[in-house]
Amino acid sequence: MRLVVIGGSAAGMSAAARARRVSPDTEIAVFEKGPYVSTSLCGLPFYISGDVKSWRDLIVYTPEYFREKRNIQVFTEHRVKRILPYKKKIIVEDRNGVEEEIAYDRLVIATGGEPERHFDGENVFYLRRIEDGIRIREFIEKRGPRRAVVVGGGYTGLEVVDALYRRGMKVEVVEMEEVLLPAFDPEIGEDVRRMLENKGIDVILGKRITSLPEGDMVIFTTGISPRNKLAQDAGIETGKSGGIKVDERLQTSHFGIYACGDCAEFRDWVSGKRRIFPLGTVANKTGRACGENAAGGNVKIRGIVWVSVFRVLDMEIGKAGLSLKEAREFGMDAESVMIEGKNLAHFMPDAGKVKVKLVYERGTGRILGGEVWGEGVQRRVDILATAIKTKMNMDELAMLDLSYSPPFSPVWDPVVIAARKGGKK
Amino acid sequence: MRLVVIGGSAAGMSAAARARRVSPDTEIAVFEKGPYVSTSLCGLPFYISGDVKSWRDLIVYTPEYFREKRNIQVFTEHRVKRILPYKKKIIVEDRNGVEEEIAYDRLVIATGGEPERHFDGENVFYLRRIEDGIRIREFIEKRGPRRAVVVGGGYTGLEVVDALYRRGMKVEVVEMEEVLLPAFDPEIGEDVRRMLENKGIDVILGKRITSLPEGDMVIFTTGISPRNKLAQDAGIETGKSGGIKVDERLQTSHFGIYACGDCAEFRDWVSGKRRIFPLGTVANKTGRACGENAAGGNVKIRGIVWVSVFRVLDMEIGKAGLSLKEAREFGMDAESVMIEGKNLAHFMPDAGKVKVKLVYERGTGRILGGEVWGEGVQRRVDILATAIKTKMNMDELAMLDLSYSPPFSPVWDPVVIAARKGGKK
């Protein structure tokens, strides 16, 4: 049997590696249009900042490793031009422009996401691939730009703002919505805006970019959309989100063709609706499941709880499940509660603040989502993610047993206090 | 109605405060034998270390606050000598040695835990009350001792070792078991021992103290047992653990008499067995429930998941549920898996190590416990506590959605990797 994987980033290489593990005899080939595979794209802001010294550190495994140690054929700089599902073939163009038909028995589509591209120029950058990160850091180190504009106030944009600020640059961030972090409820974006402005970072809201902004460098971190053209051209169904439709086994509308990572849509655990989850964790997880299933396995992904965390300067920000806005957009009868608490025991000298907003279903009290921002965020977001996955309600969350020690958290955790306060209503 | 609370630490004051909240008309009186109420005993090691400047910071609320703002009568330095359940009275001795009978309608027993007392002396200390902490720090600051012996290698003992070490003292820790941290599986104690010895701290194992050890100061942090004499003398039932027996509403064997905190035993969520939970969180939680129920409420505590975390020098250590040893002692068919992973994305320069040991039931895969030690421990322990509370099995834990960002955690969290590895067996 021959398994072909299109795309060599986290999802594709997870699929290939997992298929090899469960099926030692399958012939496995990965086609990647760029020069690198198995890259950690979430690490790019930390390469730009200089925390990560070499971009090679962001490459988990090399093509040679896959060939020699895992018996996986990896073809970099090979672009897949078409999928011919009824012939069970793909057409690939190699680095010399030569096209070839490659047969497959099982196919995994892991083409990833695609940034909106607005402008081009020597000082214009996007942030999606490792090559983008290399170009940005080279530009910074060789040209010493002093002013940067980051277009896009989502979490990737803010991680880039953090990186450039820590490099001593004067940074401006431009977001087309009226608030930063539009995937969160507006309180969070407001707090982030205030914090950024206190640091001397300019925040421009509600501005749509129609001409190239002025700055020594401009980095676009606006929306990612699923790279679905190959699939659509082959007649493979995509959903409203633009992501490739898959079933619980991650098989597409075509038998034997699977999809994973940022190019596909998955069932949202909370709302039951299908949406894209452009997260490194989901790429790895769905890639792994795809690889196992393409090799004959039966792993089911019944739904995914959105969980993310990031840091921008002094503030950590995380989210599990849905914001209040999202829950209502999904048609749920949602209510919310917000509190501000301490992240440590009140008497510890370095105790800071943390805010918790919980979103829950009226009547049942079922937790639909949680947003946490301030200090000590990740633990609380993951407690909420686990609670959401197990369909806990607010009363159960209020009674949860959690760890306590003065240098770690207060005796009544803000998550529990929020649940108690919400549960009363 | 008159509610009387015996004991003014976390459990007792939580009970009083909660009763006041749900029942504005109840007359509430608290009798505390010591001079302070509402103290944060978990903070004592951080007062000894000097992190917390004043012991007053460890007092959450003063007696005046309770009297003036909450209409709760607080009698400090009043020792309760007897409970007369059939007369619904207690006998109290005030600070002048005068005894008085006080009538109650509802009684909450929150007498706390009691350290084993071995020796007395000017340079001999126990660590249970805020007065103990004050005495220790005064001794250190006035006498400048250079060598200390800590007797008891449990987690309080290790927190004290940490505090004294950071004050520049030469420290020795003596534990009567053959391993540090006997409430954990032995791997953890072994790793802690190595870490302490690398720092120049002497670790003496398997040594029972029969004479006073030599040192400028000796601090005993050996076992805490429930202070149950008042209850036993009144004919109130206690369990094998020594803790006062309570039902789900925290009522004792006597109608109208409730118990909470370190003096009582509660149902262990994992094993179903009754045991004591000498933890600040449990004192607060059961105190709160007691207060609500004594005032006519109906809060049920169906079981408690043990969860704790602490830091000793470079190492964080936490536990949720049962160790393998405990699970087997409780008669469960338990198996375990252990892994070592990174606490952050591998490419982050400050990525450290973390070890995860999961304990699960053979056959069902139900998670019975988890121990985590190294860096980035608390979040993982609380994820496990939440998973244990919801009766998750290893396969479900392996599929959990958790947050990821390079400066916070790796894309596949060690907790998930451990669950995956265990799940295969």
pLDDT in tens, chain A (425 residues): 999 999 999 999 999 999 999 999 999 999 999 999 999 999 999 999 999 999 999 999 999 999 999 999 999 999 999 999 999 999 999 999 999 999 999 999 999 999 888 799 999 999 999 999 999 999 999 999 999 999 999 999 999 999 999 999 999 999 999 999 999 999 999 999 999 999 999 999 999 888 998 989 999 998 889 999 999 999 999 999 999 999 999 999 999 999 999 999 999 999 999 999 999 999 999 999 999 999 999 999 999 999 999 999 999 999 999 999 999 999 999 999 999 999 999 999 999 999 999 999 999 999 999 999 999 999 999 999 999 999 999 999 999 999 999 999 999 999 999 999 997 65
Cβ atoms B250, B268 nearer than 8 A:
no
Residue B196 to residues B10, B201, B264, B313, B314: CA-CA distances in angstroms?
Answer: 32, 5, 34, 8, 9
**DSSP readout, A3-56?**
EEEE--SHHHHHHHHHHHHH-TT-EEEEE-SSS--SB-GGGHHHHHTTSS--GG
Report the distance separating Cα A65 and Cα A70, nearest Å: 7
Instruction: Enumerate residues 6+ apart whose C-beta is below 8 A from B84.
Output: B90, B91, B101, B234
Subunit contact B405:A269, Cβ cutoff 8 A? no
Q: Which residues of A touch B309 (CB under 8 A)?
A: 403-405, 408
* Residue of A42, A281, A403 with shortest CB distance to B385: A403
CB atoms B386 and A381 under 8 Å = no
A281, A379, A400 ranked by CB distance to B378: nearest: A379
Which residue in A44, A411, A420, A424 has the most chain B C-beta atoms within 10 A of its own C-beta, making it the best mutation to test that interface? A411
Is the CB of residue B226 less than 8 Å from the CB of residue B241?
Answer: yes
CA angle (A151, A154, A156) in 5-degree steps = 85
B406–chain A nearest CA distance, Å: 6
Nearest to A337 by CA among A422, A424, A425: A422
| Among A52, A315, A316, A382, the residue to mutate for chain B (most B Cβ within 10 A) | A382
Is the torsion defined by CA of B234, B237, B242, B244 positive or negative? negative
Beta strands in A137-216 (DSSP E): 147-151, 170-175, 202-205
Quote the tokens at residue A271. 């709302």
**Strand order from edge to edge, sheet including A79-84:** A79-84, A89-93, A99-103
* Cβ distance of A402 and B382 shorter than 8 Å: yes
For residue A407, the chain B residues in CB contact (below 8 A) are 46, 51, 311
Confidence of residue B118 (pLDDT cuts 50, 70, 90): confident
Indicate the DSSP class of residue A391: T
Query: Given A316, A401, A406, which is nearest B385 (Cβ)?
Result: A401
Q: Please indicate whether, in this complex, the C-beta atoms of B403 and A281 are within 8 angstroms of each other.
A: yes
Q: What angle do CA B389, B376, A48 make, to 5 degrees?
A: 130
What CATH fold (topology level) applies to the domain B117-220? FAD/NAD(P)-binding domain (3.50.50)
> What is the pLDDT at residue A172?
98
B2-39+60-113+225-294 and B117-220 have identical folds: yes
Q: Are A384 and A391 in contact (CB under 8 A)?
A: no
**Amino acid A354: pLDDT:** 98
What does the DSSP 8-state code read for residue B216? S
**DSSP strand E in B17-93: where?**
27-31, 73-75, 79-84, 89-93
Asked if A403 and B53 come within 8 Å (Cβ–Cβ), the reply is no
Q: Which residue of chain A has the CA closest to B416?
A: A285
Task: State residue A377's pLDDT score.
Answer: 98
Neighboring chain A residues of B421 at a CB cutoff of 8 Å: none
Cβ-based contacts of B343 with chain A (< 8 Å): none
Query: Which pLDDT score is estimated for B53?
Result: 97
For the A317-423 domain, the top CATH level (class) is: alpha beta
Measured between CA atoms, the residue of chain B closest to residue A406 is: B43
- CB < 8 Å to A403, chain B: 281, 307-309, 318, 320, 378, 381-382, 385
CA distance B132 to chain A (A): 18
**B279–A308: do the CB atoms touch at under 8 Å?**
no
Encode pLDDT of B18-43 as tens digits: 999 999 999 999 999 999 999 999 99
- The residues spanned by each domain of chain B are 2-39+60-113+225-294, 117-220, 310-423
The stretch B355-373 carries a mean pLDDT of 97
- pLDDT, chain B, mean: 96
Q: Point out the catalytic residue in the list B42, B260, B263, B290.
A: B42
- Set of chain B residues whose Cβ sits within 8 Å of the Cβ of A266: none
Q: Chain B: residue nearest A416 by CA?
A: B285
> At A370, which helix (H) or strand (E)?
strand A367-374
Nearest CA in chain A to B379: A379
pLDDT of residue B425: 54
pLDDT tens digits, B176-225: 999 999 999 999 999 999 999 999 999 999 999 889 989 899 999 988 89
Cβ of A42 and B345 within 8 Å? yes
A2-34+76-113+225-294: which CATH number, 3.60.70.12, 3.50.50.60, 3.40.50.11540, 3.40.50.720? 3.50.50.60
Instruction: Give the Cα separation of B36 and B273 in Å (integer).
Output: 34
Q: Could you name the CATH architecture of B310-423?
A: 3-Layer(bba) Sandwich (3.50)
**pLDDT tens-digit series, residues B127-160:** 999 999 999 999 999 999 999 999 999 999 999 9
Does residue B96 surpass a pLDDT of 70?
A: yes
Instruction: Please report, as a single letter, which amino acid is at residue B166.
Output: R
Rounded CA gap, B316 and A262, in Å?
36
B331 to A244, B270, B322, B338: CA distances (angstroms): 50, 12, 12, 21
Question: At B12, which helix (H) or strand (E)?
Answer: helix B10-22
- Residue A118, pLDDT score: 79
Q: DSSP of B289-334, one letter per residue?
A: HHHHHHTT-------B--EEEEEETTEEEEEEE--HHHHHHTT--E
pLDDT above 90 covers a percentage of chain B that reads 95
| B39-70 pLDDT tens trace | 999 999 999 999 999 999 999 999 999 999 99
Say which CATH topology domain B2-39+60-113+225-294 has: FAD/NAD(P)-binding domain (3.50.50)
CB A284, CB A40: distance < 8 Å: no
Cβ-based neighbours of A144, under 8 Å, separated by 6 or more: none
Q: Can you give the pLDDT at residue B396?
A: 96
What average pLDDT score do residues B299-313 get? Answer: 97
The answer to whether A386 contacts B400, with C-beta atoms less than 8 Å apart, is: yes
Query: In Å, how far is A93's CA from the nearest CA of chain B?
Result: 32
Of B46, B307, B387, nearest to A403 by CB-CB distance is B307
B99, B108 in Cβ contact below 8 A? no
pLDDT at B215: 86
Of A308, A349, A389, the CB nearest to B400: A389
The residue in chain B having the minimum alpha-carbon distance to the alpha carbon of residue A310 is: B405
With a pLDDT cut of 70, the percent of chain B lying above it is: 100
* Nearest chain A residue (CA) to B303: A401
Q: Which pLDDT score is estimated for A12?
A: 98
Predicted pLDDT of residue B424: 62
Smallest CA-to-CA distance from B325 within B178, B170, B134 is with B178
Kind and range of the H or E run holding A384 = helix A377-389
